[in-house]
């Protein structure tokens, strides 16, 4: 199983666990439900289209060094039609803003992008 496939399966499984825990576990709090909703709605098209919002989220995630967030935004950006060139320029912005500490995340991001493209081919 590729990292892309592992990420997709893990995210789906754990999001379901958080939002639909079942009868023997406590339900998600109102704050958790509202935050998940806010996170979803923030990326809806508005003055900026979804693709550009995902690229912004990707850049911020790289600077914050959140590998799960980086993978999520790469997958979403590709799904919104982002080209490899757009993604690479987004990686560049993150590198400039975040500095050399972003380089390991840049490497993993490029690898994840390759797996994402292959899975969608």
**Domains identified in the chain and CATH numbers:** 1-12+52-120 (1.20.1290.10)
pLDDT of residue 24: 87
Measured CA to CA, the distance from residue 55 to residue 100 in angstroms comes to: 20
Which of 6-10, 18-22, 48-52, 117-121 has the least mean pLDDT? Answer: 18-22
pLDDT in tens, 12-50: 999 999 999 888 889 999 999 999 999 999 999 999 999
**The tokens of 102 are what?**
């972003």
Enumerate residues 6+ apart whose C-beta is below 8 A from 33.
19
Mean pLDDT score, 108-121: 96
| Angle value at C-alpha 35, between 89 and 107, nearest 5 degrees | 30
Q: Return the percentage of the chain with pLDDT > 90, whole number.
A: 93
Whole-prediction pTM: 0.92
């Amino acid at each position: 199983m590729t990292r892309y496939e592992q990420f997709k399966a893990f995210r789906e499984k754990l999001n379901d666990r958080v939002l639909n825990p079942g009868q023997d576990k406590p339900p998600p709090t109102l704050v958790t439900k509202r935050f998940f909703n806010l996170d979803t709605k923030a990326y809806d098209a508005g003055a900026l289209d979804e693709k550009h919002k995902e690229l912004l989220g990707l850049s911020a995630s790289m600077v914050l060094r959140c590998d799960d967030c980086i993978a999520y935004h790469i997958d979403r950006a590709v799904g919104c039609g982002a080209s490899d060139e757009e993604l690479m320029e987004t990686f560049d912005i993150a590198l400039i803003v975040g500095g050399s500490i972003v380089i390991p995340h840049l490497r993993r991001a490029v690898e994840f992008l390759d797996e994402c493209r292959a899975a969608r081919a």
